[in-house]
Amino acid sequence: MITAFLIKYGEIGIKGNNRYIFEDALVRQIRHALYGIDGGFKVHKESGRIYATATEAFDSDEVIEALKKVFGIVWICPVEEIDDNGFDDLSEHCIRFLKESYPEENFSFKVQARRGRKNYPMDSMEINAQLGGRILDAMPQTRVDVHNPEVLLRVEIRGKIYMYCKEIPGPGGMPVGTAGKAMLLLSGGIDSPVAGYMISKRGVQIEATYFHAPPYTSERAKQKVVDLADEVSAYAGPIRLHIVNFTDIQMAIYQKCPHDELTIIMRRFMMQIAEEIARKNDCLGLITGESIGQVASQTMPSLLCTNAVCTLPVYRPLIGMDKQEIINISEKIGTYDTSIEPYEDCCTIFVAKHPVTKPLLHVIERDEKKLDGIEELVKKAVDTEEIISCGKKIPEVY
Amino acid sequence: MEAYLDNSATTRVSEPVIDLVVKLMREDYGNPSSKHLKGFQAEQYLRRASEQIAATLKCSPKEILFTSGGTESNNTAIIGGAQAASRRGKHVIVSSVEHSSVKEPFRALEQRGYKVTWLPVDKNGIVDLEALKSALDDETILVSCMAVNNEMGAVEPIEEIGRIVKDFNPEILYHVDAIQAYGKFRLPVHRIHCDTLSVSGHKIHAPKGTGFLYIAKGTKISPIIYGGGQQGGMRSGTENVPGYAGLGLAAQLAYGSDFDAKIDRLYALKEQFTADLRSLDGVTINGKTGRESAPHIVSASFEGVRAEVLLHALEERGIYVSSGSACSSNRPGLSSTLQAIGVPGPLLDSTLRFSFCFETTREELDYCIQTLRELLPKLRLFTRH
């Protein structure tokens, strides 16, 4: 019977002296993911492995679903944990375990033992051979295949002994919190949550900024963004969402600048404000969901213009992706259905019929000069931000 | 200041109704189907509620079927009615400005092979009676029309329709959706000649999830919900006793001795409000006003302003209204009612509905007008191109 989950991680293993930092971060993320899930899981690391051991009854599928969202995990193995009571006892447990896992008892197999504890009286090769023999005796319809076994029974001998024969792929990546922090520009669309997910996968902790423009965008549009942040946080961990009131700035741009440049100029202010909030919150970069040529404001000349206001690096993980590829990821991570809720965000309310697709930076900069007093509006927008904590609420002490 | 002017969406439950509902939840919580005393008591509450409702329609308490609200009442009458009469014919008739809880059941009938005639309306949203007369034929089994239009407050000639239908063939089922009319108009069912009439509780200060369908004695309707056979097998499921008791009381309160005075007051409020709206620049009132319209609904279009933006700007100042149409950047939800009455394209997306209840005050409406006077010029500076 499955009593624990053995968690394997790839890339972290090759880190040098910093390895413990990555392992500890992964342990922390796993605890976070399993918080609130039945099973009373205890998570601990032991020489290159992490174990989540149940202390109470649990639902295996639920646990696996939760672990599949923890970046840094490469494989999730449901294991049975037994005490070391000698080789005979081990053999009996292995046979029972196989019978439980594959009741048809008709498969090719291979035993792969590993001794973390080298004082075990037999070496790994001996264990493989001996165990294989006993299994064949007990289940005569099975056969050994050391090259392409249908079932690979692994036996890890450590303080306790762990048996497993199934490996479920994890999401890969790096544990969140090991790479630093970045500020995601989160709209209500399909792309930005995906961008946040992708950067977070590399171990980056995420904060997010949303530009709210009441009365042009509604409370429901805002709630939609909070929902999206909650959904991304299932992977990225807790997200602090900064909500910036953008109405006055947008109105000023609308009144004073050429309408075909509205979106570009608006986005330049968004980047500028996001960067300011990012710096205040120790973020090392900005994240956007831009993809070359997707819309007028994401052509290369437009990106040049919006990029020009930032000094922090801007991470654009979707830059080379097609819309359908982005949609596929968004469906996979579960943000798609929220993204397509029909509430207007502030990028869509004042779009010109024919926005510029090849803006020139000096022209944009010249037209922005018409916005006298804009610095104060920007300052006010930053100062009056509202912060919402998104994601699972976990007590500090946990 | 706060002004809730969205009473056609829903109303606040009135205090006496709240007290009664709470009392039933807390003390008299029996199941009316139980054989013991607690069950009997619960049944008495239902009996009392149907008597209170029947008194307002001048019908028998046995003709009241409790439901979960307007949508279920309409579905029961239309789907259940058409099904029961399907052997006599497959032709059904309905106006083209109905609420979706009527329109969609008719679409469902259309898919099940019924022939549906959608009656046109004039620029005031009133059903074309000549079109009705020419649509009626030997195959016709069901005619449905709303009493008061939910979007613009147009009052439909339901008595004339009843006469026309029953003169043509008394066997044709005549359904009236009275959800916006109940509590604002006297609806003696024998004068309307309707076979079924639907009402929703939460529009008249009763809790959400309550409503009823009047079903004239002898009318054949197939149930659409099956189970333990409650309410004579017409709608199985344990009755929402607290809700229905509240609904009965709310119905009685709506048609109290001060009914005419309350309605007069509403019309006076509406008259002043529409006059004030007309005094603003670029505002059109949709449909008829005065005694020819419902006393509690005003539909107005605001040139050069998007309804949703105006709605949220009003909301920031504590004023709650409805936009005539759901709306988004790809504009899928423009109101078919407003289109049917010929509201010009640009105004479709600029229409708000203000709806009152008996608690609405002059001060609230003045505040709303004053706020609109301030907002409209500002919002018009920022029109989408």
Q: What is the pLDDT of residues A282-306, one digit of tens each?
A: 999 999 999 999 998 899 999 999 9
Specify the 3-state DSSP secondary structure of A1.
Answer: coil
Percent of chain B with pLDDT over 70: 96
Q: What pLDDT sits at residue A346?
A: 57
| pLDDT number for residue A150 | 94
Residues B221, B277 share a domain: no
Q: Single out the residue in B199, B229, B254 at which a domain terminates.
A: B254
- Same-domain check for residues B59 and B92: yes
Residue B2 lies in a domain: no
Tokens describing residue B64? 């009241």
Clarify whether residues B218 and B168 are in a common domain.
Answer: yes
For an interface test with B, give the residue of A341, A344, A353 to mutate (most B CBs within 10 A).
Answer: A344
The answer to whether residues B140 and B286 belong to one domain is: no
Is B97 contained in some domain?
yes
Test mutation, A187, A190, A218, chain B, max B CBs within 10 A:
A218
User: Which position has the token pair 């090769």?
Assistant: A125
Grade residue B331 by pLDDT with cuts at 50, 70 and 90.
very low
Q: Residues B63, B192: one domain? A: yes
CATH tag, A4-169: 3.30.2130.30
Whether residues A216 and B309 touch (CB distance < 8 A) is answered with yes
Chain B residues with beta carbon closer than 8 angstroms to that of A219: 312, 315
Active-site residue, B357 included? no
* CA-only gyration radius of chain B, Å: 21
**Structural domain contains residue B6:** no
| B101 shares a domain with B247 | yes
CATH 3.40.50.620 location in chain A: 181-390
Catalytic residue among B59, B145, B194, B327: B327
Same domain? For B204 and B96 the reply is: yes
Pick the CATH number of A181-390 from 1.20.1530.20, 3.40.50.620, 3.30.479.30, 3.40.50.300: 3.40.50.620
Least confident segment among A270-284, B38-52, B346-360: B346-360
Report pLDDT for B324.
62
Chain A residue closest to B384 (CA)? A350
**Is residue B129 domain-resident?**
yes
- Which of B206, B233, B254 is the C-terminal boundary of a domain? B254
Query: What predicted TM-score, i.e. pTM, was given to this entire model?
Result: 0.85
Residue A345: pLDDT band by 50, 70, 90 thresholds? low
Residues in Cβ contact with B269 at an 8 Å cutoff, skipping those fewer than 6 apart: B356, B360, B362, B365
Residues B272 and B249 both lie in one domain: no
Give the three-state DSSP class for A352.
coil
The domain total for chain B is 2
**How far is A43 from A53, CA to CA, in rounded Å?**
6
B193-221 pLDDT per residue, tens: 999 999 999 999 999 999 999 999 999 99
Compute chain A's Rg from CA coordinates. 27
Of B310, B313, B329, the CB nearest to A348: B329
- Residue B186 shares a structural domain with residue B314: no
What are the pLDDT digits (tens) for A201-256?
999 999 999 999 998 888 999 999 999 999 999 999 999 999 999 999 999 998 89
Mean pLDDT, all residues of chain A = 92
Residue ranges, CATH 3.30.2130.30, chain A: 4-169
- Phi then psi dihedrals of residue A250, to 5 deg: -60, -40
Structure confidence by residue, pLDDT tens digits, B354-368: 999 999 999 999 999
Kindly state whether residues B116 and B233 are assigned to the same domain.
yes
| Identity of the residue numbered A389 | S
Are both B249 and B267 inside the same structural domain? no
The whole domain housing B83 covers: 15-254
Contact by Cβ (8 Å): A341, A217: no
Three-state helix/strand/coil letters over chain B: CCEECECCCCCCCCHHHHHHHHHHHHCCCCCCCCCCHHHHHHHHHHHHHHHHHHHHHCCCHHHEEEECCHHHHHHHHHHHHHHHCCCCCCEEEEECCCCHHHHHHHHHHHHCCCEEEEECECCCCCECHHHHHHHCCCCEEEEEEECECCCCCEECCHHHHHHHHHHHCCCCEEEEECCCCECCECCCHHHHCCCEEEEEHHHCCCCCCCEEEEECCCCCCCCCCCCCCCHHHCCCCCCCHHHHHHHHHHHHHHCCCCHHHHHHHHHHHHHHHHHHHHCCCCEEECCCCHHHECCCEEEEEECCCCHHHHHHHHHHCCEECEECCCCCCCCCCCCHHHHHCCCCHHHHCCEEEEECCCCCCHHHHHHHHHHHHHHHHHHHCCCCC
Judge if ipTM > 0.90.
Answer: no
Where among B196, B230, B254 does a domain terminate?
Answer: B254
Question: What integer pLDDT is reported at residue B334 of this predicted model?
Answer: 65
Kindly state the average pLDDT of the residues B269-279: 97
For B312-328, what is the mean pLDDT? 81
Tell me if B315 and A215 make a contact (CB, 8 A cut-off). Answer: yes
Are B85 and B186 in a shared domain?
yes
| pLDDT, position A322 | 96
The shortest CB-CB distance from B381 to any of A218, A255, A352 is to: A255
